[in-house]
Structure 1
């Protein structure tokens, strides 16, 4: 197993959307992200406190979903070590040039078929004059537009075999499992893992359709709970679909709002730095089936679509209850 923190952090995501123009508008005018160029059919967007070139790339596609998840290695040596391990385990795809602002990138798949990539070399973002910040320790000025999300927080995949994917993140990438849902039959229905000191960076939850390679949601961090309440008001004004929230999760204690972007991908807004895992000897918190039946820590009962909606969409008839 690799040492912890050989993966520095969750970096940038490539999303598919069947309605590119409307999705770009959502990320810019609802979430408050900034455009940072286009290339090869990708539109690049960034959160205001991100130090790298972009946070999200969007591509026109026949359907929605996650195309690729990028992770930054902690060093060139860490990258080399992780690539060797991934190749030896048979999950590798190969090297390619990175997106603008990113160096050589190694592409691979998890056991469920989600495409991921590791890189080390990264060009730090230099804000143009119109968005230069007043504080030199900030990447760009606060946009003052829409929700004003600060950074990418985490990604939640849907997976056929949660345990296989959890073990992959541990064994190949050095992730720490912070919390899990363990069913009465002993199987794991959800696993929350971290590469950093945040409570979680990557999550796998069981796909009830039995379909591999799908996305449950991506999440962006705001500064405060008040920002999330304001996000609900802005969604109302802009006609953004609110799926559920604001409520508080029991697992990880996240205060949240879930919305759909126009392409159908689920987006979570959550409070930044709600919980940090500083304990070097952290023991995984396991939630029982009975405990999970209680739903959220507080707020309305979890709605059915939260357990059935994912992207790309599948026929409702295939969903198992």
Structure 2
């Protein structure tokens, strides 16, 4: 048996996600009042928020911008030494942007771009959340009390990015960042990599790359927030509907990841998923699961078929209908 390369464990987990929004006040209302996240900091054109179960001070940054989309995706390193190792590897690969002094709640960070152009950074030093008296929980192991406001999302979970070349971006995540591949979708007898789901943790996936049918670059498909159970997803559907928020898909269950989901658009235009279920991967020798066209079907285990917008729409939005449109030959791949 051929010797396998030693796994890279330099990335601890997804740290935070920055979302651009052309409607900052309306987006803030959505995440704070409807989803129940807490505002912890404001700076110039940005607002920092957190879920009640996130241990870090901030895990979501909303930044006013002309167009919706994803800003900087931040990953926490496992140690200061891990940060230095990954920074060197990324610089050597020609993907580095350079060092910064860090965003709110974080220390020195190394910025880079993935092969598709998404901006990311790695950091280690992080400010842990210390709850003020009004947010103090009686549970010593809970960073913040559950306020019961809105949906009450517990934590950030994952994000899905679009890429013109999924294979190149998947190899970047596994070879340079050390992510573990969980599942894939491959079409044309395995020749075409449509989507890959990866994680540096036991969480099924914290990052997915899926083909951009419009051939654009640097776009966001969705950002996902975790709730504890299916009932919370159903409750979210009621809360969002009562407040006039468009529900694009769900509540339903994915076949890939086994996740129970609800997809909506926040007022700025970004797709947001309320997510639960799924499964953990603790096996160090996990064998990635590969799905083909027939096995994937509509992309759901049960529930309504995902709409055409699920393939065609992403942020920032671009005009034109992609060549890989939803047809019998190219079914929905999520």
Same fold (TM over 0.5): yes
Aligned partner of 1:236 among 219, 233, 241: 241
2-structure distance, mates of 1:5, 1:231: 35
2:272 pairs with 1:250: no
Aligned partner of 2:91 among 87, 92, 99: 87
- How many corresponding residue pairs? 320
Q: 1:63 to 1:294 in 2, by over 3 A?
A: closer
Aligned partner of 1:188 among 174, 186, 193: 193
**TM-score, with length taken from structure 1:** 0.97
- Partner residue in 1 for 2:169: 165
2-structure distance, mates of 1:294, 1:213: 25
Aligned partner of 2:14 among 7, 10, 16: 10
After superposition, where does 1:199-214 map in structure 2 within 5 Å?
A: 199-214=204-219
- Partner residue in 1 for 2:62: 58
- Partner residue in 1 for 2:267: 262
2-structure distance, mates of 1:294, 1:70: 32
1:282 aligns to what SS in structure 2? coil
Q: CA offset at residue 317 of structure 1?
A: 4.1
**TM-score, with length taken from structure 2:** 0.94
2:21 pairs with 1:20: no
Q: CA offset at residue 6 of structure 1?
A: 1.3
Aligned partner of 1:31 among 35, 52, 69: 35
2-structure distance, mates of 1:288, 1:317: 23
Mark the runs of 5 or more structure 2 residues left unpaired by the alignment.
Answer: 326-334
1-structure distance, mates of 2:270, 2:288: 29
Mark the runs of 5 or more structure 1 residues left unpaired by the alignment.
Answer: none
Q: CA offset at residue 320 of structure 1?
A: 4.1
Over residues 69-119 of structure 1, what are the superposed CA-to-partner deviations in whole Å (9 max), with x where a residue is unaligned? 000000011111101100000000001111121000110000000000000
Cα RMSD between the aligned structures? 1.2
1-structure distance, mates of 2:29, 2:161: 24
After superposition, where does 1:83-122 map in structure 2 within 5 Å?
A: 83-122=87-126
**Is the contact between residue 109 and residue 121 of structure 2 (CA under 8 Å) also seen in structure 1?**
yes
**Is the contact between residue 68 and residue 115 of structure 1 (CA under 8 Å) also seen in structure 2?**
yes
Q: 1:181 to 1:74 in 2, by over 3 A?
A: same
Aligned partner of 2:283 among 272, 279, 302: 279
